[in-house]
Structure 1
Amino acid sequence: MRAKVLSSLRRLAVMNPFLTDLLFSVVVAGVTLAFGVVLGDGSADPGHARRPMDPAGVVLTLVADLALAWRRRAPVTVLVISCAAVIVFHAAGYDARLNGVAPLLALYTVAAGRAPAVSVPCVLGPLASSWHAAFLGPAEFRWPNLAQTGVMVAVAWTFGNSTRLLVERNNRLAGLSERLRHEQEDRARRAVTEERMRIARELHDVVAHHMSVIVIQAGLARYVLGSDPATARGALTTIADTGSEAMGEMRRLLSILRIDLDDDTDGYDPAPGLQRLDQLVERLRSAGLPVEVSVTGTVRALPSGIDLCAYRVVQECLTNVLRHAGPATARVFLHYGVELELRVTDDGRGAAAASHEDGHGLIVMRERVKLYKGTVTAGPKPSGGFEVVVTLPLSSAHPDDHPPRTHGKPKT
């Protein structure tokens, strides 16, 4: 029952602060008037009550106490009115022990809502009213009353100022929490955007390359279907193999997207890397593109991200040669050193290939290489054809970290 009452009071204070303060001021005024009636009868100490409570005293008491209803709206004004009413009440001869609460509550409100530059001077009002009452009381209690009321005024100001500091700290924490929430939402949006870009790059590399091979081989098979069945069967075989490989890579990509923290990741196929360069080259050769590969330096295992990036770069370059260079020979140069250097050239239509430099393929390639702080240079060669040069830093990989690994038989 008590918890329900307190909960109801809290809700009322939040919903209507003025009504709460009004009720509180009515209670303070009622208690003060009740004490005034009790202390003003014939048994009261004549040293305190020189004048019994009358209508004028009731009015002054109501002014001093009911002003607290506006303490949140105009705290300094309420403090001035309350202290003035109390001083007049005591100066008129009423009991000096009454109406000491309202100035203290008003001072607490000022200290809780205003900076010390404002609230410290306001201490003089309650201090003056309480010391005035102490001097009007019996002489033998004067100095103890002065000390007691001084301590009470100091405590009221200290509690109010502590409340102000607590509210300011809570407001700062709320502001920091809100800013942190916005930053977390921004990071989440950026993470989603980056993941979408990564998925788009993977889909482009998988679909563009394999579909290019399939389209070219399908056109060849249709062209020679009646005149050269053996060549048509070879083209259809290449289409089937390329389609199977494309489906495998799509399944790998989808399985990564579906991966859960509790899943066993050992069952997923690894991402392609330069160890599958021979398969890529053979697939392009079967599509009718002569490809020569040259590897120099100490061949070694690469970090998985750089390995995938290098594979996708070579895949994209050879796919572009197949699609745009016309009859041409492609050459792939790999050099393992402090940096991994990839150079893909062809002797086809360089000017025509250059028109595709700003296409989606090269954009995706630049995005991939940029992730690993590499560089991309692409353009037509002076002697004809097109050239793409990519460098990927290998500062974290050293020649002796892993045993050499070759991509088929190197050609020099």
Structure 2
Amino acid sequence: MFMRTPRPFVVDTLLALVVVCVAVRLGQQSVARGWPELDARAYVLLALAHLPLALRRRAPLVVFAAVQGAGVAYVSLGYWPLLSVFGAALVLYTVASVCPARIAIGCAALSSAKWVYGGVVSDSRSAGLAVIEALLCCAVLVWFGTLARRSTKLARQLRVEQAERARREVAAERGRIARELHDVVAHHMSVISVQAGLARFVLDSDAATARGALGTIEDTSTEALEELRRMLHVLREHDPGGADSAAPMPTLARLDDLVERVRAAGVLVELSIQGTVRPLPPGVELCAYRVVQEALTNVLKHTRHADAQVRLQYRPHHLTVSVTNDGEKMISDNVPTGAGHGLIGMRERTKLYGGTISVGPRAEGGFAVRLSLPTSATGARWGEERRR
């Protein structure tokens, strides 16, 4: 269980009672110090000079006026001036910590005048010392109060900046999740849509083809649900270290499955890999996989009579990916700039990992997506060790 933080009013009330007790206890030594003995009137004035401190944060100027007025009355009656100083000092610090500098300086001047007045009416020989004490003590109190006010202001600004940074991080995370959901759902739904249309078209004339299409729909929907389940598991996971095994991060090793699904949807896809296959950073593999997935999804959705070619080339320090098709039309690049999905999502992913991407029609017809991603030296060394 967590302990509840006391409210400021409760803390200030306790502080006021403690200061009153200290003043009363110290007042019992008045006669020994050469001052008149405290009577009922003196105790009442001491209480009025300290108990208002319970409200010092709610109405600092009102409390300042009340404390100073009681202090002046107390000193005017010839009692020991020191006993009325505690409340006046604390309320002056409070005023300096919450009010502008000009108000704090004005209150300090009034407090100094009262201090000097106490020195004058009690013992004229100590008037000069009273002036020095008043100026020094009030200046120190205002200085520390001003520092506290600035620190509070800086802390408030820091909290605002942290909240704003947290909002930006949440927005960025939402964008990432939206891209992941788009990549997972759009591809699988495109395959399911094509296969459902095929099954409906050949249901009466070619039962075997219809059954194959329904089987593809079942497999694709199962995989889509599995990816969504893994993604939701990561979103619920509180331990970052425990989410790695369930993270929805497909690798390039799963390209064969992706290509097979697109082939089953009626698009002839050729996959070729050049260079020595090696492990790459997870983010790089995910970026490359998602770009290929989005490009093939666009072939399914926006081209007619298209064949596609997917080529991966492992270079010493880069991975290059190209997805081309020879379809009649490709309209996916007409995505509004603010959409944040589709081809815009490809560019965002690529920029995140320091790569380059080009998307556009080919001179000989069709459409092409070409991606180049830098790979880390760590991944290259890991690949060399595995080959050995």
> How does the TM-score come out when normalised to structure 1?
0.68
Asked whether the equivalents of residues 273 and 311 of structure 1 are also in contact (C-alpha less than 8 Å), the reply is: yes
Quick check: 1:348–1:385 contact (8 Å CA) kept in 2? Answer: yes
Q: In the alignment, which residue of structure 2 is the partner of 1:382?
A: 363
Offset at 1:351? Answer: 5.4
SS in 1 for 2:323: strand
Residues 1:362 and 1:33: Cα distance change in structure 2 (over 3 Å): same
In the other structure, the counterpart of 2:54 is 11
| Structure 1 equivalent of residue 320 of structure 2 | 341
Q: Distance in 1 between matches of 2:234 and 2:74?
A: 74
What SS is found at the alignment partner of 1:400?
A: helix
How far residue 243 of structure 1 moved from its aligned partner, in angstroms, is: 0.8
CA–CA separation in structure 2 for the residues paired with 1:326 and 1:269 = 35
Question: How many angstroms apart in 1 are the aligned matches of 2:336 and 2:52?
Answer: 72
Pick closer, same or farther for the CA change 1:182–1:242 going to 2, 3 Å: same
1-structure distance, mates of 2:289, 2:105: 71
Return the alpha-carbon distance in structure 2 between the equivalents of residues 389 and 194 of structure 1. 25
Q: 1:202 to 1:168 in 2, by over 3 A?
A: same
Report the alpha carbon displacement of residue 6 of structure 1 after superposing the two structures with TM: 4.7
Distance 1:173 1:396, change over 3 A: farther
Matches within 5 A, 1:221-370: 221-261=199-239, 264-265=242-243, 268=246, 271-337=249-315, 338-350=317-329, 352=331, 355=334, 360-370=341-351
- Indicate the residue corresponding to 2:69 in structure 1: 25
User: Contact (CA 8 Å) 1:354, 1:386: kept in 2 or not?
Assistant: no
Contact 1:334 1:343 in 2 (8 A): yes
CA distance in 2, matches of 1:2, 1:400: 67
Residues 1:174 and 2:156 are matched in the alignment = no
Indicate the SS of the match to 1:402. Answer: helix
Paired AA for residue 345 in structure 2: V
Report how far residue 72 of structure 1 moved. 6.9
**Greater mean alpha carbon deviation, residues 397-406 or residues 359-368:** 397-406
- How far residue 184 of structure 1 moved from its aligned partner, in angstroms, is 0.9
Distance 1:269 1:159, change over 3 A: closer
Deviation at 1:13, TM superposition (A): 3.9
Which amino acid counterpart does residue 166 of structure 2 have in structure 1? A
State the alpha-carbon separation in 1 of the partners of residues 378 and 240 from structure 2.
31
Alpha-carbon spacing, 1:244–1:382, altered in 2? closer, same or farther (3 Å): same
Residue type of the alignment partner of 1:340: L
1:295 aligns to what SS in structure 2? strand
Partner of 1:218: 196
Separation in 2 of the partners of 1:178 and 1:197?
29
Unpaired runs of at least 5, structure 2:
1-12, 20-50, 80-102
> Which moves more between the two structures, 238-247 or 262-271?
262-271
Supply the RMSD in Å over aligned alpha carbons.
Answer: 3.5
Match of 1:196 among 135, 154, 174: 174
Structure 1's unaligned 5+ residue stretches are 36-70, 83-100, 106-125, 135-144, 407-412
Q: How much has 1:390 moved relative to structure 2?
A: 1.3
Aligned-pair identity (%): 44
> C-alpha separation between the residues in 2 aligned to 1:395 and 1:263?
22
Paired residue type of 1:103: V
Structure 2 equivalent of residue 103 of structure 1: 116
Structure 1 Cα separation of the partners of residues 386 and 14 of structure 2: 78
Secondary structure of 1:401 counterpart:
helix
Contact 1:300 1:404 in 2 (8 A): no
Change (3 A) 1:20 1:297: same
Q: For 1:357 and 1:292, locate their aligned partners in 2 and report how far apart those are by CA, in whole Å.
A: 30
**Larger Cα Rg: Structure 1 or Structure 2?**
1
Kindly provide the amino acid, as one letter, of the partner of residue 9 in structure 1. P
Alpha-carbon deviation of 1:371?
1.5
C-alpha distance in structure 2 between counterparts of 1:2 and 1:210, whole Å: 67
Quick one: structure 1 residues 297 and 3, their matched pair in 2 at CA, closer, same or farther if it must change by over 3 Å? same
Normalized against structure 2, the TM-score is what?
A: 0.72
Q: How many corresponding residue pairs?
A: 318
Q: Is the 8 A contact 1:357 1:378 kept in 2?
A: no
Equivalent residue of 1:348, what SS? coil
Separation in structure 2 between the aligned mates of residue 2 and residue 256 of structure 1, nearest angstrom: 49
Alpha carbons of 1:404 and 1:276: their partners in 2 closer, same or farther (altered >3 Å)?
Answer: farther
Write the letter of the residue equivalent to 1:28: V
Displacement after TM superposition at 1:394 (Å): 1.3
